[in-house]
Chains A and B, each alone.
Chain A
Amino acid sequence: MPFLARLRRDWQLLVMTLPALGLVLVFHYVPTLGNVIAFQDYTPYDGISSSPWVGLYNFQWLLSDPEFWQAIRNTVTITTFQLIFYFPIPIALAILLDSVLSRKLRLFIQGIVYMPHFFSWVLVVSLFQQILGGAGLLAQTLRQHGHEPWDIMTNPDAFIVLVTAESVWKDAGWGTIIFLAALSAINQNLYEAAAVDGASRWRRMWHITLPGLRPVILLLLILRLGDALNVGFEQFFLQRDAVGSHAAEVLDTFVYWRTLMTGAWSYGAAAGLFKGVVGLILIVIANKVAHRFGEQGIYKRS
Chain B
Amino acid sequence: MNNRPTWQERPTLFGLTLKGFTLTVIVLVMIYPIYVVILTSLSTASAVTAAGGLVTLPTDLSLDAYRELFGGGVVTRAVLVSTGVTLVGTTVSLGLTILAAYGLSRTNSLFHRPLLFLFLLTFLFTPGMIPTYLMVRELGLIDSYWSLILPSAISAFNLVVMRAFFMNIPGEVIDSARIDGAGDFRILGRIVLPMSKGVTAVIGLFYAVGYWNAFFNAVLYINDNSKWPLQLILRQYVQQGMDLVPNTRTYDSAAGALPPNLAIKMAIIVVALIPVLIIYPFVQKHFTKGVIIGAVKG
- Cα(A211)–Cα(B266), bound, Å: 42
Q: Which size bracket describes the interface of B in this complex?
A: 35 or more
B281 in contact (CB, < 8 A)? yes
B70 in contact (CB, < 8 A)? no
- Cα(A123)–Cα(B8), bound, Å: 43
Chain A interface mostly: helix
Known contacts A31-B131, A215-B164: A17-B150 contact under CB 8 Å: no
Shortest distance in angstroms between B126's beta carbon and chain A's nearest beta carbon? Answer: 7
CB–CB B161/A127 < 8 A: no
Q: What is the total number of residues of chain A having a CB less than 8 Å from a CB of chain B?
A: 94
Q: B3 is contacted by which of A16, A103, A276 (Cβ under 8 Å)?
A: A103
Q: Which of B117-139 contact A (CB under 8 A)?
A: 117-128, 130-132, 134-136, 139
B26 in contact (CB, < 8 A)? yes
Shortest distance in angstroms between A19's beta carbon and chain B's nearest beta carbon? Answer: 5
Q: Which of B1-45 contact A (CB under 8 A)?
A: 1-5, 7-9, 15, 19, 22-23, 26-27, 29-31, 33-34, 36-37
Known contacts A115-B30, A120-B269, A192-B7: A6-B110 contact under CB 8 Å: yes
Q: B183 is contacted by which of A12, A44, A130 (Cβ under 8 Å)?
A: A12
CB–CB B26/A216 < 8 A: no
Q: Collect the chain A residues with CB atoms within 8 Å of residue B291's CB.
A: 184-185
Q: Which of A250-297 contact B (CB under 8 A)?
A: 265, 269, 272-273, 275-276, 279-280, 283, 296
Number of inter-chain CB pairs below 8 Å: 267
B194 in contact (CB, < 8 A)? no
CB–CB A182/B165 < 8 A: yes
Q: B4 is contacted by which of A28, A101, A187, A227 (Cβ under 8 Å)?
A: A101
- Cα(A12)–Cα(B183), bound, Å: 8
A109 in contact (CB, < 8 A)? yes
CB–CB A272/B125 < 8 A: yes
Q: What is the interface of chain B, defined by CB distance below 8 A to chain A?
A: 1-5, 7-9, 15, 19, 22-23, 26-27, 29-31, 33-34, 36-37, 53-54, 56, 96-97, 99-100, 102-104, 106-111, 113, 115-128, 130-132, 134-136, 139, 150-154, 157, 159-161, 164-165, 167-168, 183-185, 188, 195-196, 198-199, 201-202, 205, 213, 265-266, 269, 272-273, 276-277, 280-281, 283-284, 286-293, 296-297
Q: What is the interface of chain A, defined by CB distance below 8 A to chain B?
A: 3, 6-7, 9-10, 12-17, 19-21, 23-35, 37, 44, 93, 96, 99-104, 106-107, 109-116, 118-120, 123, 126-127, 130, 169, 173, 177-178, 180-189, 191-192, 195-196, 201, 215-216, 219-220, 223, 226-227, 265, 269, 272-273, 275-276, 279-280, 283, 296, 298-300, 302
List, sorted by A's number, 19 A–B pairs whose CB atoms are closer than 8 Å. A3-B110, A12-B183, A13-B106, A34-B127, A37-B128, A104-B1, A111-B280, A112-B30, A181-B199, A181-B287, A185-B291, A188-B5, A226-B120, A265-B128, A272-B125, A283-B120, A283-B124, A298-B164, A302-B108
